[in-house]
Structure 1
Amino acid sequence: MYIDYIKETYSDKENEDINLYVQRDKGHLGKIILENIRNDIDDIVDRWWELESVGYFSSNEKFLELLKEAENLYCFGNYTSCIAVIGIATEEFSRYLADNNKIDSRNLNQEGRLKILKETGGISENTYSLFDSIRKLRNSCMHYNKQFKGLNMNVLKVEAMRALNYYKNGIKNTIQVENPDLDIIVEQLISNNKLSFNEFKLRQRNINKQKNNIDVQISPNKKNLIFQSNYYIAEIDIETENFKEMTLIDLDGGGILVLDLTLPDVSVVLDLKLEVHNVIFATLISKVSTIGLTEEWKLLSIDDVFYGKYSLV
């Protein structure tokens, strides 16, 4: 069964009013899409978690763009489309390898291309086996033969996930995973205009752990962190309208943090006549975010003040 009726032409309305009706319908359609995603969010996340990780490739080749597309299709439950795209991606990657190995594969089908890549050492025996399995599944999918048509959603899901992981492993086994400095990867993430700040924080956290063995995560058992320490006041910014904050350096534990100040906090700063270079003994609190990192630091209390100009040297 297929039922459309998502759009209305509004051909019976006055021309100057049509756009108003369309924009209102688009707004409602956006709500429907968000609702559908919310209703499926747990399954979407679980499907993403099932995919293997292969690290970092700086190349902008089409076979990597197709991988991203296939991953999105899989995570949103579009298994048939995922299998088709992975089949296309595998062929594109095979052509890329053939060109790099000076193999003229223009007149070869994917079966022949994979065989000659294996024979010439372009791919390993294991990668050949993985890619040949993808080829056979893709052919069944594209021709939509009786066997493929009979697969239920659970089997389709397994086949799509297997094809994705086969492809990712084939790439990892064939071209060297790059190991650049953390700054280079972060710069690439920042330059991606489609990447949300929350996704950036998650990827940066994992890169720090996997590349530098720096684990900044806080235990899932903790919802808040409370610290008491001596803090050097590096900056006080309470004149702006949009935000008010104080930059502190932890003299006991090390590290720099920015303290977000509420209006009552600002009153405390003014009443205590705090200045840059002073030292405060204070209690701070921060909520632990959904990725196990501290969020905004808030002031609980200032218990003592050293009013001299403390030297950090």
Structure 2
Amino acid sequence: MRYFDCTKFDYKDADTDELANLIERDKSAYKYSFKTWVNSEIDKITDRKWQINNIGIVEETGDFIRLIKEAELTYSLGAFYSTIALTGIASEDLCKYYAIKINHPDLAGLTQHVRLQKLKDRGELSETTHKAFDAIRIIRNECLHFNDDFKIRDHNSLATEALNCINSLKAIYKELFAASNTSYKTGEIITRIIEDFAHQQTYKTSFGDTLNQEEFTMKLRYFMADELKLDIAISDPGDKVSQAGFFRVEEIDLESSPKETTLRHIPSYQYVIVDLTEENIAQISTLDISEGETIFASIYSILDHQGISAAWRFEKFIDTKS
């Protein structure tokens, strides 16, 4: 089997004025090729994502968490060598972090094999955790040294090893720092999740962060169900949900796109953002509705592909001043 490395065409004889356009044309062709591959693999990518175990929230985080996130993403994409290597490096960094955290800084400069044994001898690691750590260390070394035995492993064997590594490491991480987890007030975790997502989107903290608003909504649903015992997936995608009652007009924003108003449902104190049509805006003007006033309204939303309410709109509303 040969290695063909020739995706980029050599335009050494091309007109300089045309060079940029030619390269952009080829990039567009590659984008199409890449999208085609992703679309053909999307079911497998998603299935692999679902094979990775959730561990909820862990308070302690070090640099190793960036590697764990990246390892999860590479596993989903089917890059199993990368997953094993990243998990092995993350495992070593996690172990160093843990040793320093529990006041054994003398172990930080040792090899992972020696460090694990000494942590076990000092009563800081159980037999089970030591074995789990050591199993990751062994497969990581085989991968990085690319031993003959490792080279001949088939795709399915690598997939199994990679998944075992990432799930085992996450379980170790959860176990080591479970005692440091805070008892949260109701709703506090939800606030933390929102703040964390905003931070990730602003600073792009690591490859493998929450992908976008869509994945964020999935994570939010998980924690709302866990903390508030509320599944925000209301019904089937495409269904229409409605709510009617008294709302306080908290804000009317005609500068945003789309134009919108923020309402607070008075009985439940829940906030909802409603997109405004030109007809709605005209009616608000005619009724002279201002921020701080109360209206009676019927609002609706068509559920998105996750069964969660998306954009809210008015069915009707009336002023309560008269």
Specify if TM > 0.5: yes
2:231 to 191, 197, 215: 215
Change (3 A) 1:145 1:245: closer
1:200 aligns with 2:202: no
The structure whose Rg is larger is: 1
Q: 1:187 to 1:75 in 2, by over 3 A?
A: same
Work out whether 1:292 is the aligned partner of 2:292: no
Superposed CA deviations along residues 52-98 of structure 1, whole A, max 9, x for unmatched, are 12233455522221111211111100112211221222222223333
- Point out where structure 1 has 5 or more consecutive residues left out of the alignment: none
Does residue 265 of structure 2 align to residue 263 of structure 1? Answer: no
Residue deviations 1:11-37 (CA, integer Å, cap 9, x gap): 212334323322332233233222222
Residue 234 of structure 1 corresponds to 249
Deviating 4+ runs (over 6 angstroms): none
* Shift in alpha-carbon separation, 1:293–1:106, aligned structure 2, 3 A: closer
Q: Which moved more, 1:256-265 or 1:42-51?
A: 256-265
Identity %: 28
Paired residue for 1:163, among 162, 165, 170? 165
Gap runs ≥5 in structure 2: 205-209
Q: Which has the higher contact order (CA 8 A, sep 6+)?
A: 2
How far apart, CA to CA, are the structure 1 residues paired with 2:257 and 2:237? 30
- Asked whether the equivalents of residues 238 and 266 of structure 1 are also in contact (C-alpha less than 8 Å), the reply is no
1:79 aligns with 2:94: no
- Partner Cα separation in structure 1 for residue 94 and residue 294 of structure 2: 61
Residues 202 and 106 (structure 1 numbering): CA distance in 2 closer, same or farther, change over 3 Å? closer
Letter in 1 for 2:321: G
| Whole-Å separation in 2 of the counterparts to 1:99 and 1:258 | 47
Q: With structure 1 as the length reference, what TM-score do the two structures score?
A: 0.83
Amino acid of the structure 1 residue aligned with 2:30: L
Residues 249, 66 of structure 1: CA spacing in aligned structure 2 closer, same or farther, 3 A cutoff? closer
Give distance in 1, aligned partners of 2:245 and 2:307: 25
Give the letter for the 2:171 counterpart. Answer: N
Residue 240 of structure 2 is aligned to residue 225 of structure 1? yes
In the alignment, which residue of structure 2 is the partner of 1:189? 197
2:311 aligns to what SS in structure 1? strand
| Structure 1 residues 279 and 148, CA gap change in structure 2 (3 angstroms) | same
Match of 2:207 in 1: none
Query: C-alpha deviations, 1:214-245, integer Å up to 9, x for none?
Result: 432213x3632332523346268485584333
Q: Does the C-alpha gap of structure 1 residues 10 and 264 become closer, same or farther in structure 2, counting only changes over 3 Å?
A: same
What's the Cα RMSD here? 2.9
* CA gap 1:208/1:16 in 2 versus in 1, 3 angstroms: same
Alignment length (residue pairs) = 304
